[in-house]
């Protein structure tokens, strides 16, 4: 169980005045933090990892106090067992894949640990390469393997998919799910992509103006309680075309582009670039086996 | 004639001085550059200015102050003489001390630039893996900033070989003790032995050229690997 209550004021000129959060996360839960960029999502992860100090607050992980400003307790990042996947990988440029994982596992680590990580992330064939010789997806998998090396009970993922193409993301997301199931890790994922949020999360924290405005399963946070949707996808509006009395909305979801017919009233306030939830309630969607 | 008072003597002495200075400065300069790259202390601008000062200061100013400070008549000089039995003026130890101060910016500044150019999350990633600051510096940061480290070591070495004013002020021109190659040139010219001065000068010129060429080749190669 991770429980935290923190407050931090941001410098003048930041998009939001500060960050105020109070959260409890159960063991093994997969929680996404969703919100606009500059809204404090990354700061929240950094505060949990001990890389940024809040103005005041308390963080307790599995009964161990990591931070308590009232009692002047501050555990340095080294003493908090977290795995952190940084947005820009932050790989060690001088270490090969194997050296990096050996460094991460450390002397006290399990002997077979490095090979298991290489196998899990599909990097076994690339063990002697430097990060500069890896593709974007491979780098991200190395960053992920490195974060798992110490078997941390808490995994923090900062926009891990932002720099990758969709096919690589799908592959990588599978790895994350496997690892999450295998190690029973509690995971906290920062994302501004609704696809990711829906795909992964048991629960989503919606951060707005530096506060957690809503918390719950993705469908209830984004769709409202009344969505019983037998079928739904999350997509981005690419365009809205007028055609006589109807509107044709073009929506992208992952690699797929779909056109949906809508009435003029429905498209009010919806603009290209918006994230929308497309769902079908009255009719069952038709499906066919393709593989 | 002992080896150090022979013709090659000043060259060997320069070499010994430069190696010693570089080794001492590696021990001082690496932690100092690391501290400067991380600290948010209000003392940082002050320390940073002091480190860079020898670049703009006339060497004679530095030499004069060191001479005044380490003279057996001044308190610091007297303490060193009585407690440690060393005199820092007109001795090899004095030359090393002066060179360490004089070459400090050539060790610290390139290294600092290299460390600051590395993305902060690299260090943070190592910390979240449970590694100490020391282990992070030695295993992650210095290897990642290797071109800067090499540049710093080579420039420190070359700059120490090339120094003149500070050495003359604090060391004088004692054969086998403080007459390094750059002083030997001055000495030969004063004796109107232009031939000797030519040989020393040519050796130092070639040395400096080769060193700078090496640094630029090293940096170009490492640019490619990133």
- The shortest C-alpha distance from B20 to chain A (Å) reads 28
Residue B82 near chain A (CB below 8 Å): no
Q: Are A258 and A250 in contact (CB under 8 A)?
A: yes
Q: Is B113 helix (H, G, I), strand (E, B) or coil?
A: helix
Flag if B129 and A93 touch (Cβ within 8 Å): no
pLDDT given at position B225: 46
Q: Is B13 helix (H, G, I), strand (E, B) or coil?
A: helix
The residues that bridge with A203 in the sheet, in sequence order, are A31
DSSP string, A166-215: HHHHHHHHHHHHHHHHHH--EEEEEES-HHHHHHH-SEEEEEETTEEEEE
d(CA A94, CA A69): 37
> What is the mean predicted confidence (pLDDT) over A265-289?
76
pLDDT tens figures, A207-242 = 888 888 888 888 777 765 455 556 677 888 888 888
If you ran DSSP here, which 8-state letter would residue A11 be given?
Answer: P
Main-chain dihedrals φ then ψ at residue B77, nearest 5 degrees: -60, -40
Q: Which chain A residue is nearest to residue B135, measuring alpha carbons?
A: A103
Kindly state the tokens that stand for B178: 């403080």
- The shortest C-alpha distance from B224 to chain A (Å) reads 10
- Residues near A25 by Cβ (< 8 Å), separated by ≥ 6? A1, A2, A3, A31, A186, A188
Considering only CB atoms, which chain A residues are within 8 Å of B119?
88, 90
Cα Rg for chain A, rounded, in angstroms?
Answer: 21
pLDDT in tens, chain B (226 residues): 444 457 788 888 888 999 999 999 999 999 999 999 999 899 999 999 999 999 898 988 988 888 888 877 777 777 777 777 777 777 888 889 889 999 999 999 999 999 999 999 999 999 999 999 999 999 999 999 988 999 899 999 999 988 888 888 888 777 878 788 888 888 888 888 888 889 989 998 998 899 888 888 877 766 544 4
pLDDT given at position A58: 93
- The shortest C-alpha distance from A19 to chain B (Å) reads 21
Flag if B128 and A104 touch (Cβ within 8 Å): no
If phi over 0 gives left and psi between -120 and 50 gives alpha, with beta otherwise, what is residue B85? left
Average pLDDT for chain A: 84
d(CA A201, CA A192): 13
pLDDT given at position B226: 43
- Residues near B105 by Cβ (< 8 Å), separated by ≥ 6? B51, B52, B53, B54, B55
Flag if B128 and A49 touch (Cβ within 8 Å): yes
pLDDT tens figures, A130-167 = 999 998 888 988 998 999 888 888 999 998 877 666 66
List domains and CATH numbers for chain B: 9-225 (1.10.3720.10)
Considering only CB atoms, which chain B residues are within 8 Å of A95?
140, 143
d(CA B197, CA B212): 22
Residue B226 near chain A (CB below 8 Å): yes
CB atoms within 10 A of CB A61: 21
- The shortest C-alpha distance from B144 to chain A (Å) reads 5
Q: Which residue from A93, A95, A150 is facing B130, i.e. has the nearest CB?
A: A150
pLDDT given at position A278: 81
Q: Is the pLDDT of residue A290 over 70?
A: no
Question: Treating both helix axes as pointing N-terminal to C-terminal, what angle do B194-225 and B146-162 enclose, rounded to 10 degrees?
Answer: 170
Residue B130 near chain A (CB below 8 Å): yes
Flag if B124 and A77 touch (Cβ within 8 Å): yes
pLDDT given at position A260: 85
The ipTM of this complex is 0.77
Q: In what order do the strands lie in the sheet with A246-253?
A: A256-262, A246-253, A231-243, A275-280
- The shortest C-alpha distance from B145 to chain A (Å) reads 9
Q: Which residue from A78, A86, A150 is facing B121, i.e. has the nearest CB?
A: A86
pLDDT tens figures, A86-134 = 988 899 999 999 999 999 988 766 667 888 888 888 888 999 999 999 9
How far is CA A263 from its chain centroid? Answer: 34
pLDDT given at position A98: 93
């Amino acid at each position: 169980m991770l429980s935290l209550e923190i407050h931090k004021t941001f410098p003048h000129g930041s998009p939001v005045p500060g960050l105020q959060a109070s959260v409890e996360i159960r063991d093994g839960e997969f929680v996404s933090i969703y919100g606009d960029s500059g809204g404090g999502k990354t700061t929240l992860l950094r505060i949990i990892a001990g890389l940024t100090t809040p103005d005041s607050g308390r963080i307790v992980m599995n009964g161990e106090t990591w931070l308590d400003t009232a009692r002047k307790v501050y555990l340095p990042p080294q003493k908090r067992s977290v795995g952190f996947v940084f947005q820009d990988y932050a790989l060690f440029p001088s270490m090969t894949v194997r050296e990096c994982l050996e460094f991460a596992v450390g002397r006290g680590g399990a002997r077979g640990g490095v090979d298991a990580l290489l196998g899990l992330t599909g990097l076994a064939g690339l063990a002697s390469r430097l990060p500069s010789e890896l593709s974007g997806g491979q780098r991200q998998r190395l960053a992920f393997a490195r974060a798992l090396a110490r078997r941390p009970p808490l995994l923090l993922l900062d926009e891990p998919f932002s720099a990758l193409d969709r096919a690589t993301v799908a592959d990588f997301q599978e790895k994350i799910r496997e690892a999450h199931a295998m190690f029973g890790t509690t995971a906290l994922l920062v994302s501004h992509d609704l696809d990711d949020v829906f795909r992964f999360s048991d629960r989503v924290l919606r951060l707005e103006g530096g506060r957690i405005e809503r918390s719950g399963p993705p469908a209830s946070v984004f769709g409202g309680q009344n969505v019983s949707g037998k079928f739904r996808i999350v997509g981005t509006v690419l365009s809205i075309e007028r055609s006589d009395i109807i509107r044709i909305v073009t929506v992208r979801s992952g690699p797929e582009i779909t056109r949906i017919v809508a009435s003029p009233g429905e498209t009010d306030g919806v603009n290209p670039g918006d994230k929308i939830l497309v769902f079908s309630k009255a009719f069952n969607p038709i499906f066919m086996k393709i593989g | 004639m002992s080896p150090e008072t022979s013709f090659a003597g000043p060259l060997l002495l320069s070499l010994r001085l430069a190696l010693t200075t570089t080794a001492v400065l590696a021990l001082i300069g690496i932690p100092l550059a690391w501290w400067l790259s991380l600290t948010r202390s209000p003392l940082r601008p002050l320390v940073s200015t002091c480190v860079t000062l020898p670049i703009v200061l006339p060497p004679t100013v530095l030499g004069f102050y060191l001479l005044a400070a380490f003279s057996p008549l001044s308190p610091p000089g007297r303490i060193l003489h009585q407690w440690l039995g060393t005199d820092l003026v007109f001795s090899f130890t004095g030359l090393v001390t002066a060179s360490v101060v004089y070459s400090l910016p050539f060790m610290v500044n390139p290294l600092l630039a290299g460390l600051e150019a590395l993305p902060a999350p690299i260090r943070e990633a190592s910390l979240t893996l449970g590694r100490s600051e020391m282990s992070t510096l030695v295993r992650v940061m210095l290897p990642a900033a290797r071109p800067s480290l090499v540049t710093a070591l080579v420039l420190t070495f070359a700059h120490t070989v090339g120094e003149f004013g500070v050495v003359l002020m604090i060391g004088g021109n004692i054969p086998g003790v403080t007459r390094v190659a750059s002083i030997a040139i001055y000495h030969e010219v004063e004796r109107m032995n232009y031939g000797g001065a030519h040989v020393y000068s040519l050796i130092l010129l070639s040395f400096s050229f080769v060193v700078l060429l090496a640094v630029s080749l090293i940096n170009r190669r490492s640019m490619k690997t990133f």
